[in-house]
């Protein structure tokens, strides 16, 4: 079992569908889960601690749990079938003498918690609002994760920064003119004025 953190919300470039990214503790793997716009809004509101004038879905769920004398101890994403993730809410009755430690996923105390089936998007939105942990089976992480290469990202950013630092305004104008004259249907750039993408 791997404890995951919400790395953020991304947007699928092709479908424009939001994706919530769950990252493992090493920061080397992250699992993308496609969600809808409403759930993306709920998750972002929970991450940012945004207070809504009217309760959002996850605010309502948290209030209902509290009214029922329950609290969310953790979320477990336990399966992926046909590209669909499955999650469980692990709930515990609120008592004054309850134990808060020693009930890691899979432990005897954890098995005594109440389980409720949930969509991962709902579960994650509720977890970030209540500060509950998010766990994922190692098999699911291994199957669905994509590598995160922080070093490569840093090198790319560094190379781009060096390129920009070394680029003079005159070289940029020459580059834009060269690009403009090689695009299909492009007009010749005026030698007295830099070319631009603006109409």
Question: Which H, E and C letters describe 125-180, residue by residue?
Answer: HHHHHHCCEEEECHHHHHHHCEECCHHHHHHHHHHHHHHHHHCCHHHHHHHHHHHH
pLDDT of residue 110: 63
Output the CATH code of domain 2-147.
3.10.690.10
Least-confidence region, from 75-79, 118-122, 149-153, 191-195: 191-195
52 close to 45: Cβ distance less than 8 angstroms: yes
Q: Is the pTM of this model over 0.75?
A: no
pLDDT per residue over 1-52, tens digit each?
A: 999 999 999 988 888 899 999 999 988 899 999 998 888 988 988 888 877 7
Which is higher by pLDDT, 38 or 110? 38
**Averaged over 170-185, what is the pLDDT?**
58
pLDDT above 90: residue 121: yes
113 with 90: CB under 8 angstroms?
yes
The strand order across the sheet containing 29-34 reads: 114-118, 84-93, 70-81, 133-136, 2-11, 18-23, 29-34, 146-147
Residue 58 confidence (pLDDT): 84
Domains of the chain by residue range: 2-147
User: What pLDDT is attached to residue 79?
Assistant: 94
Q: Which residue has the higher pLDDT, 82 or 177?
A: 82
Band (pLDDT 50/70/90 cuts) for residue 189 is very low
Q: How confident is the model at residue 147 (pLDDT cuts 50, 70, 90)?
A: confident
Tell me, what's the pLDDT at 16?
86
> What's the pLDDT at 49?
81
9 CA to centre of own chain: 4
Angstrom distance (rounded) from CA 59 to CA 73? 16
pLDDT-above-90 percentage for the chain? 43
CA distance 84 to 79: 8
| Higher pLDDT pick, 120 / 154 | 120
Contacts of 165 (CB under 8 A, 6+ apart): none
């Amino acid at each position: 079992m791997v404890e995951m953190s919400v790395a953020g919300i991304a947007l699928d470039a092709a479908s424009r569908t939001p994706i919530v990214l769950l990252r493992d503790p090493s920061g080397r793997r992250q699992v993308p889960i496609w969600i809808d716009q409403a759930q993306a809004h709920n998750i972002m509101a929970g991450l940012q601690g945004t207070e809504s004038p009217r309760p959002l879905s996850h605010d309502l769920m948290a209030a209902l749990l509290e009214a029922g004398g329950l609290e969310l101890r953790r979320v477990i994403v336990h399966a992926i079938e046909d590209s669909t993730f499955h999650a469980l809410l692990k709930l515990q009755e609120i008592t004054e003498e309850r134990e808060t430690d020693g009930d890691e996923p899979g432990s005897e105390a954890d098995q005594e918690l109440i389980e409720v089936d949930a969509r991962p998007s709902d579960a994650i939105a509720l977890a970030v609002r209540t500060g509950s942990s998010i766990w994922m089976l190692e098999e699911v992480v291994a199957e669905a994760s994509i590598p995160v290469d922080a070093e490569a990202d840093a090198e790319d950013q560094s190379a781009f920064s060096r390129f920009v630092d070394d680029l003079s305004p005159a070289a940029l104008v020459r580059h834009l003119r060269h690009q403009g004259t090689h695009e299909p249907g492009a007009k010749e750039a005026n030698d007295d004025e830099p070319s631009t993408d603006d109409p």
